[in-house]
Amino acid sequence: MIESLLNPGNPNARVYALQTQAAADALGLRLQVLTAHSEAGLEAAFRIMVEQRANALLVIADPFFLARREQIVALAASHAIPAIYPFHYFPECGGLMSYGAEIGSLLHQIGTYAGRILKGAKPVDLPIEQNTKYDLVINLKTAKTLSLTVPPSLLARADKVIE
């Protein structure tokens, strides 16, 4: 069982849940979406994961989760649940791995858009752009603690490996 953790208060929660389920279905994986929007909700979600013997956890990008990354990483570690996170901040504080948009690239895009608007461009006329830079960060210390072997091919693709 793969668990996905999302914040129901996020305006994109429904879209995230549908996209995650579609990806799991395409891979033939059984997925359960759990929600949390408070610290107590995080504790409850991890209790469910333990009861259902979760094999892995996918944490969906959300400001609430980012702000509570240390709590989430600690809960995953204490229950020995391998988890993948949306931002490099999670493995930097002990999480297993992250794959997500490179924050510097996103901030550059935001700054470029803001600059164009301040110079008179109408927001409706600006093209929609998607991020093209993603970071893969792997924490080998955490992998070792979880008794996981990270394939060399994955390590070679990583933008950062924490040893």
pLDDT digits (tens, 9 = 90+) for 100-148: 988 888 888 889 889 999 999 998 999 888 888 899 999 999 999 999 9
List helix spans (H) across 84-139.
Answer: 89-92, 103-118
Structural domains in the chain? 2-162 (3.40.50.2300)
The average pLDDT across 83-110 equals 92
150 pLDDT tier (thresholds 50, 70, 90): very high
Q: What is the CA radius of gyration of the chain?
A: 17
Helix (H, G, I), strand (E, B) or coil at 143: helix
Q: How far apart are CA 88 and CA 161, in angstroms?
A: 11
Q: What integer pLDDT is reported at residue 73 of this predicted model?
A: 98
Q: What integer pLDDT is reported at residue 129 of this predicted model?
A: 82
- The closest of 25, 54, 145, 31 to 97, measured between CA atoms, is 145
Average pLDDT over the chain, rounded to an integer: 94
